[in-house]
A = this chain, B = another copy of it.
Amino acid sequence: MAEGSPRDLSDPAFREGVLDLLGALAYGELVGFFTIVRDAEGAPEMSIRMRLAQVAVTEFAQYERLTARIEELGASPEKTMEPFAASFDEWHRRTEPGSWLEGLMKVYSGNALAADFYKEIAKYVDPQTQDLVADVLGRGSHVEFAAATLRAAIADDDKVAGRLALFGRRMMGEALSQAQRVAADRDAITGLLVDDGSGTGADLAELTRLFARITGNHTARMEALGLQA
């Protein structure tokens, strides 16, 4: 929680911002569920099909916790997710993996990038929502398997490294452009971040640091794989 007297859920603008965070995150989990099931269905080995289907259902349970919180706050999950569908679907369309390794890259680095955005916004919401978001994001599932497989493939082949570095930069660039679109469309979520004079939001210097942290984390993840970010 930022400094100043905390805003609470009886403030309609604040509540709207909290719901926006929950709606974006819930839709992200639902799309994540679809994506993992598609990977499961396409996997040639029975054991991987079974394992990935299991991972997807765990993701779905997170989606259900988020929609339950949305209902608890008196809103419709459907209507709360709806405004984010276009940006999310567009991001997925523009970062469609061209290979199995790019697919893994998206799991590893794309999920972490999305999580970084949510975590930054979650600093400004009510403590109960904050705990829920932290818990949902803490359950990153098949990320370690993806990282190990990528590291091996990158160490083996310079051309693979070059293509994946490019794909990583594309994911970051497209994420920033969709984040700008959401910020422009959704006053409520922007209102959480930008100080309205109550002293609880971030000031512009803090917003700059927020974007620097997100890009910095992305760079560190790319380097950890042996890639130039």
Contacts and interface: CB of A to CB of B under 8 A. Distances in A.
A49 B77 CA distance: 12
A34 B30 contact: no
Nearest to A30: B53
B57 A78 contact: no
A78 B37 contact: no
A68 B201 CA distance: 50
A148 interface: no
A40 to B, nearest CB: 7
Interface string A23-42: 00000001001100110110
B77 A50 contact: yes
Interface size range of chain A in the complex: 20 to 34
Contacts of A85: 46
A206 interface: no
Contacts of A38: 37-38, 41
A118 to B, nearest CB: 20
Nearest to A76: B47
Nearest to A40: B34
Contacts of A34: 37, 40-41, 53
Given A46-B82, A46-B85, A53 B40 contact: no
Interface of A: 30, 33-34, 37-38, 40-41, 46-47, 49-50, 53, 56-57, 60, 63, 77-78, 81-82, 85
